[in-house]
Amino acid sequence: MEIFRGASPRPKSDPLYYGGSIPRVLIEDVTRDGKYTTPKIDFLTQEGAKKSRFLPKGSVILSCSGTRVAIPGILGVDACIHDGWLGFRNLMEVENEFLYYLFVKLHERMQGEATTGGVFNNLTTSIIRDLRLGFPSLPEQQKIAEFLTAVDRRIELLQAKKKKLEAYKKGVMQKIFAQKLRFKADDGSAFQDWEEKKLGEVYEFRTTNSFSRDKLNYDSGVYRNIHYGDIHTKFPTLLDLKKVDLPFVNEDVEIRKTFSENLVEDGDLLIADASEDYADIGKTIEVVNSNRQKVLAGLHTLHAKRKQNTTELGFGGYIMKSDGLRAQIKKIAQGTKVLSISVPRMKELDLALPCLEEQKKIVQFLTSLDSSLENLNQQITHTQTWKKGLLQKMFV
């Protein structure tokens, strides 16, 4: 087969070469589309195409320069490739789609063999030419490619189903917290109107403290830590903190006090009080089933304990993700490079609460959607893992 590098007309952005109707593949196109790539970002004129490398639909391409090398794709349309891509043509007894899957299998190996120069890696044509590979007969290549394509199709269908369910959940949450969608009691009667509250009336805010790992004598197991609003598995599980005897900690009263104060319970909210962007500031996790695995509030986290008889377990996490609360949090966030939110401002956020019975109905409904999404995630992960195993076995 012929292996060659793409080309780019210079100077870049010259209207003589750029801005026409002939698509040119960028790495963003392949990472967006996956296997079959349809360039949608960059286009060349006829003159620009003459100074690039043109390939017909169905051609295999492989990224060869930049921070992401050895990423394969198949052109979904006729297109040009620039010098960050390798092209392949005149394939002799090699099926295009088989070659694509072979490159998927060899991804890590090719990354390891790429030359490094400054910021960018480079996968040269000579490196690819020197790869010693075995190819089955063309009919067997076609069967392998067809089978793996069917597996990819299964993954795509699951991902599309997940995306559709996520959109449905987002839409229904908007209706629920805008009170455009109401639930009814078991006897069919309407629940009472939602009650206007301040967040500080529903939750008691506590400060969290950092602690030093080198002052701990670890036991076995896993501890869950909340940092910047995300759950991290960082610390070994310690013995029950509520016991009088705490052999996992030095005889330091302050350390004991820090751990005891940071331990959270079911219904507590862990809120990210610092972030570099508005998407993450105020991101909230409600703790559930903490008896199964101990949870600590970490640094850059607000710890909000729910007050008695205010919210149903699970409801706080959902209302903190509602459009109304998110908009208020973004409004009170302060800072330039790093955004932050303060406890006094958080306490003054407005929210509307349904009665506990309606909260329970809402939690049950949204939890069922989350369970369906988690099931889809597991199916996607399982299928992807299965595919990886197939690639290992097929391309020994």
Q: Does domain 195-353 have CATH number 3.40.50.300?
A: no
**Can you tell me the distance from the alpha carbon of 131 to that of 331, in angstroms, rounded to the nearest whole number?**
56
- 231 or 287: which leads in pLDDT: 287
Is residue 155 within 8 Å of residue 138, measured between CB atoms?
no
CATH superfamily, domain at 136-191+354-396 = Bipartite methylase S protein (1.10.287.1120)
**Can you tell me the distance from the alpha carbon of 392 to that of 273, in angstroms, rounded to the nearest whole number?**
44
pLDDT of the residue at 300:
74
pLDDT of the residue at 262:
63
pLDDT of the residue at 29:
95
Task: For residues 348-356, give the mean pLDDT.
Answer: 96
pLDDT of the residue at 351:
95
pLDDT of the residue at 170:
96
- 25 or 272: which leads in pLDDT: 25
Q: Report domain extents, the chain.
A: 2-132, 136-191+354-396, 195-353
Q: Which tens digits make up the pLDDT trace of 237-266?
A: 444 444 334 344 444 445 455 555 566 788
pLDDT of the residue at 251:
44
Check pLDDT > 50 for residue 287.
yes
Record: fold of 2-132: Adenine-n6-DNA-methyltransferase TaqI; Chain A, domain 2 (3.90.220)
Is residue 59 within 8 Å of residue 78, measured between CB atoms?
no
pLDDT of the residue at 245:
40
Is residue 27 within 8 Å of residue 71, measured between CB atoms?
yes
Contacts of 25 (CB under 8 A, 6+ apart): 37, 39, 42, 61, 73, 75, 79, 80, 81, 82, 85
- 2-132 and 136-191+354-396 agree in CATH topology: no
Beta pairing partners, 249: 216
Contacts of 184 (CB under 8 A, 6+ apart): 190, 191
Check pLDDT > 70 for residue 290.
no
pLDDT of the residue at 221:
43
The DSSP letter of residue 184 is: B
Check pLDDT > 70 for residue 229.
no
Minimal CA–CA distance to 119: which of 67, 74, 172, 183?
Answer: 67
